[in-house]
Amino acid sequence: MEPTDTSHPDYYHRVVDCQWACPAHTDVPEYIRLIAQGRFTDAYMVNRHSNVFPGILGRVCDRPCEPACRRGRIEQQKPVAICRLKRVAADHRDEVAGRLPKIPKAKNGKRIACIGAGCASLTVANDLMPLGYQVTIFEQYGEPGGLMRTNIPSFRLPHTVLNEEIAMITGMGVELKLNSPVGSLRQLLTGGGFDAVFVGSGAPKGKELKLPGREAAAANTHIGIAWLESVAFGHIDRIGKRVLIIGVGNTAMDCCRTSLRLGAESVKVMARKPRGFFKASEWELEDAEEESVGIIINRAPRSFVIENGRLTGMLFDKMEYELDARGRIIAERSAGEEFLPADDVILAIGQENAFPWIERDLGVEFDKWDVPVVDKTTFQSTRPGVFFGGDAAFGPKNIIWAVEQGHQAAISIHRRCHGEAVSERLAPGINLQSRKMGMHEWSYANDYSPVERRLMPHVSLKERFKKLNIEVELGFTAEQVEQEVQRCLNCDVQTVFTAKLCIECDACLDICPVDCLTITHNGAEAELRTRLKAPAKNLEQPLYVSAGLPQTGRVMVKDEDLCVHCGLCAERCPTAAWDMQKSELHWPLAVDEARMLEARKPKIA
């Protein structure tokens, strides 16, 4: 193998699994260390820089970081509770008003329209307001927040948290036009006087289930996201005793738990496939099951059963599946039917974006599924100056993706407004800084903590159903925080190797607790992976290969997969060939783009 090019920003970035997996590349280990030091406000600001809504995401993020967490690969332990530690920072921070970006009084003369006041549009406003833009957000409802408000029940995300973090952005001087649905993009483009339009209108259309009896059952059949929206705005406050939820995604989880709070006594979630195929996150399933929601597998809906003009239940096919060796379904068949009684049925089988208000002759191209054609890097549509982000761009995902897409769209908008090509953007970079303080002292806690993941305390099952908006999760206690922060392996404190200093004494190899180091003769990657001190079977984790070592010409190979970043290799190294250095990712945002463009301007002598 060629010596690894660690100067490429991706190399060390990938080692920080959580940061690499986070769409917004939040510096997770850094904020966890700040929490460990009791610096909650600083931890909050590190989060806010990348993900804009730490308090919200600390409760409801889809946490792509957690399945990626290295802790999960070591000792079969659960990942660090990254998400809930974020909430700790948000819950315990001080006032941050003074630390938010300053908004210039003199505007730059550019006006931006954002459609929909959800997380994507709010991020665009958050990034552009400090640069002097005038941003107008059009929102169809009377309150901002989009799906964060309408689809996430308040027992998971309290309105106080939502309102506070939205207010940080609207408080920058955003012109927020509530109760103002956009009926025509043409009108906005021609008569609005905007320099760019950002479409962040989400995926507001719940999928329909066309089965016999659907029309006759209309009075007691609800579309999941529309129903949650009506509950959020107080239009619906009760439901029948027996409720069936069709579908087993995260919306289904919110629907079943909300039903329990509106008076349902028996709630069943009907899944067409076995458990491994569920779309819902593992933790949302757990929370629903804790509340005695029944999850019934292998039941495909066949028809709505109506008696005397009223819904009495649904008929299901009992499905049987044949799986191949890799667990994929290769054949399915129905082995009989089953009737389940119900007073109400909620359909939670997916949602889509919908743009009846975009005229199709504006140059904004739609593909054959009627989804807008959007560039994956710039988030610009086929009509220059019209950008998409969040669920509106690529269909339903989670808040954290919408935030990142908002960041990227803001960069594009800034470049376009300054006459620059939107595709030529600042590249990411990485900085390394040694953590060495003395002979055996590092400016991070390098000892490995074997404790298990802390369990989130919940409001008792007796209490939580009394009101719709009782937040179920109580947040970690101080003792839990103290233990959970130490579970973080500090993957951002990188093992950095300088080949020319190595005397091949083997000290690092001998001390490494997880055998991730080997000195050996070089070879092709596939073959080299089998020759290491412990075989490197996880192909998704890169191998580090040094330049030839001075004394024998062999190479130092490190399998990054299971390194616990204890720093013992560096402590044992007599020549400081190994050093522990904190990597700081520089992931450009609109403000960096603005600084770069500013610096490039010719200076008047």
The site for other proteins (CB under 8 A) is made up of 73-76, 440-441, 446-448, 450, 503-507, 509-511, 513-516, 534-535, 537, 551-552, 562, 564, 566, 568, 571-575
Residue 450 Cβ vs other proteins, minimum distance, rounded to whole Å: 7
d(CA 60, CA 338): 35
Amino acid identity at 245: I
How many CA atoms does the CB half-sphere of 445 hold within 13 Å?
17
Our CA angle for 177, 206, 273, nearest 5°, is 145
Helices (H), 185-245: 185-191, 224-232
Residue 40 or residue 578: which is nearer to other proteins going by CB?
578
Residue 447 or residue 479: which is nearer to other proteins going by CB?
447
d(CA 390, CA 553): 51
Residue 176 or residue 562: which is nearer to other proteins going by CB?
562
Residue 571 Cβ vs other proteins, minimum distance, rounded to whole Å: 5
Residue 265 or residue 510: which is nearer to other proteins going by CB?
510
Beta bridge partners of residue 429, listed in sequence order? 586
Residue 488 Cβ vs other proteins, minimum distance, rounded to whole Å: 14
Beta bridge partners of residue 584, listed in sequence order? 431
Query: Is the separation of the CB atoms in 417 and 195 below 8 Å?
Result: yes
Residue 428 or residue 553: which is nearer to other proteins going by CB?
553
Residue 216 or residue 499: which is nearer to other proteins going by CB?
499
Residue 138 or residue 544: which is nearer to other proteins going by CB?
544
Residue 212 or residue 513: which is nearer to other proteins going by CB?
513
d(CA 322, CA 217): 33
Residue 547 Cβ vs other proteins, minimum distance, rounded to whole Å: 18
d(CA 54, CA 61): 9
Residue 441 Cβ vs other proteins, minimum distance, rounded to whole Å: 8
Residue 207 Cβ vs other proteins, minimum distance, rounded to whole Å: 42
Beta strand 205-206 with 299-307: parallel, antiparallel or unpaired?
A: unpaired
Residue 478 Cβ vs other proteins, minimum distance, rounded to whole Å: 25
Beta strand 555-559 with 517-520: parallel, antiparallel or unpaired?
A: antiparallel
**CA torsion sign, 59 to 63 to 65 to 69?**
positive
Residue 543 Cβ vs other proteins, minimum distance, rounded to whole Å: 15
Beta bridge partners of residue 113, listed in sequence order? 136, 197
Q: Residue 473 has what DSSP assignment?
A: B
Token pair 């974020």 is found at: 86
Residue 75 Cβ vs other proteins, minimum distance, rounded to whole Å: 6
SS3 225: helix
Q: How far apart are the first and last CA of the chain?
A: 52
Residue 15 or residue 358: which is nearer to other proteins going by CB?
15
